[in-house]
């Protein structure tokens, strides 16, 4: 079978790989669509494991099943990382720091014609696509699940004011989920006017260019108050600083985007302490989050189709990585391994 093998952001090669063989409780899935995640082009993060087949936002149909829960022909979405649900972290509600979640994966990865879904992912990380949902829509279940978990941790409730700092793909998903959750005012920022235009199209009540005085503009829009929830979806330090200055007293800041290892972020601790601001981090999602994400997409409460800018065959995976890494002419890039 063919697979797109990652060596670095500028070197992704389509190579022949053996077809995976499945064991007890496992599935063999024909990948019909696989999204390129922003984390896939974090070269500092990925290159240490290269050469590797990446791709974890997948949807396809089952061609072989050794699981009593699924049968060949069913359309499914699966996640690559799953927690054990039995360790101390999982019992405490911190499933996404579970050792199992950090060590489970597909074989070989989603940028391939076929993937083996191990038993753990079959049992607690695979869902059937509902009738009427396309494969490309299914690729958004995993990234939306991450957003669902993050907003839950940040205390999202109806009537809140939400500021999303950075309107890349994760920022746009945050904008839509905040609106779907009943936020009274959703404000999006970015350096790109095209992204701001898309944020407004997808539900942002207001948009602010990143070179403006973002904290002041948020207060102008929110009757003199900062945002109840600030969601930082970029690792740019100036944007993070804007986010910290944009939160209201008693509010929440969700650090959704990571920095490189070893980088430090200046935090205005006095102001945050004085105003009783809570900082949150969030990574990955669980089966509960995936189910909620699937329902949101199926109900058309989150519009994923309008975020797709490119659909490329497997042979053009390198081009897809270029588009995502440069982050200029693309939003969501979908690889179609069967083409």
Residues 276-326 pLDDT 10s = 999 999 999 999 999 999 999 999 999 999 999 999 999 999 999 999 999
- What pLDDT, on a 0 to 100 scale, did the predictor assign at position 197? 97
Of 3.90.180.10, 3.40.50.2300, 3.40.50.720, 1.10.540.10, the CATH number of 2-145+285-336 is 3.90.180.10
pLDDT-based confidence at residue 329 (cuts at 50, 70, 90) = confident
| Residue closest to 111 by CA, chosen among 45, 29, 31 | 31
Q: pLDDT at position 14, please? A: 98
Average pLDDT over residues 133-138: 98
Distance in angstroms (rounded) separating the CA atoms of residues 150 and 158: 16
Flag whether pLDDT at 144 surpasses 90. yes
Structure tokens at 334: 């979908």
Task: For residues 314 and 322, give the distance between their C-alpha atoms in angstroms, rounded to a whole number.
Answer: 14
Task: Return the percentage of the chain with pLDDT > 70, whole number.
Answer: 100
Dist. CA 323–CA 332, nearest whole Å:
9
* Local confidence band at 44 (pLDDT 50, 70, 90 cut-offs): confident
Mean pLDDT of the 218-232 span? 98
Work out the pLDDT band at 224, boundaries 50, 70, 90. Answer: very high
Domain boundaries, the chain: 2-145+285-336, 155-281
Give, in order, the Cα–Cα distances in Å from 85 to each of 25, 89, 126, 146: 18, 8, 15, 17
Which candidate, 146, 229, 158, places its Cα nearest to that of 188? 229
Using a cut of 0.85, tell me whether the model's pTM lies above it.
yes
CATH topology of 2-145+285-336 equal to that of 155-281? no
pLDDT of residue 214: 98
Mean residue pLDDT of the chain comes to 97
Per-residue tokens: 46: 């990925």
φ/ψ region of 109 (left if φ > 0, alpha if ψ in -120 to 50, else beta) reads left
Taking alpha carbons only, the member of 250, 127, 111, 229 closest to residue 178 is: 229
Q: In the CATH scheme, what is the code of domain 155-281? A: 3.40.50.720
Question: Which phi-psi region, left, alpha or beta, contains residue 270 (left: φ > 0; alpha: ψ -120 to 50)?
Answer: alpha
Q: pLDDT > 90: what percent of the chain? A: 97
- The answer, yes or no, to whether residue 45 has pLDDT greater than 90, is no
Where residue 178 falls among pLDDT bands split at 50, 70, 90? Answer: very high
Q: What share of the chain is helix, strand, coil (3-state, %, to 5)?
A: 35, 25, 40
What's the pLDDT score for residue 59?
98
């Amino acid at each position: 079978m063919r697979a797109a093998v990652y060596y670095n952001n500028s070197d992704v090669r389509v190579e022949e790989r053996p077809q995976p063989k499945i064991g007890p409780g496992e599935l063999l899935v024909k990948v019909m669509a696989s999204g390129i995640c922003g984390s896939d082009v974090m070269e500092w993060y990925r290159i240490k494991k290269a050469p590797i087949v990446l791709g974890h936002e997948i949807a396809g149909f089952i061609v072989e099943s050794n699981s009593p829960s699924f049968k060949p022909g069913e359309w499914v979405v699966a996640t690559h990382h799953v927690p054990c649900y039995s360790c101390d972290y999982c019992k405490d509600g911190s499933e996404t720091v579970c050792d199992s979640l950090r060590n489970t994966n597909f074989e070989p990865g989603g940028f391939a014609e076929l993937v083996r879904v191990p038993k753990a992912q079959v049992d607690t990380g695979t869902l059937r696509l509902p009738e009427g949902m396309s494969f490309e829509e299914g690729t958004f279940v995993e990234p939306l699940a991450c957003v669902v978990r993050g907003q839950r941790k940040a205390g999202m409730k109806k009537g809140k004011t939400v500021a999303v700092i950075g309107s890349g793909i994760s920022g746009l998903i945050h904008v839509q989920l905040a609106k779907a959750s009943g936020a009274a005012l959703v404000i999006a920022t970015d350096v790109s006017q095209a992204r701001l235009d898309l944020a407004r199209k997808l539900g942002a009540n207001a948009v602010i260019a990143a070179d403006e005085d973002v904290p002041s503009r948020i207060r102008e829009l929110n009757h003199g108050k900062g945002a109840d929830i600030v969601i930082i979806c970029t690792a740019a330090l100036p944007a993070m600083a804007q986010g910290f200055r944009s939160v209201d007293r008693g509010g929440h800041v969700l650090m959704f985007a990571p920095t490189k290892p070893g980088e430090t972020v200046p935090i205005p601790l006095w102001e945050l302490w004085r105003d009783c601001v809570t900082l949150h981090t969030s990574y990955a999602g669980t089966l509960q989050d995936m189910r909620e994400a699937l329902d949101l997409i199926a109900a058309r409460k989150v519009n994923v189709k309008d975020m797709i800018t490119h659909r490329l065959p497997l042979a053009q995976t390198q081009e897809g990585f270029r588009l995502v890494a440069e982050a200029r002419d693309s939003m969501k890039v979908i690889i179609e391994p069967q083409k």
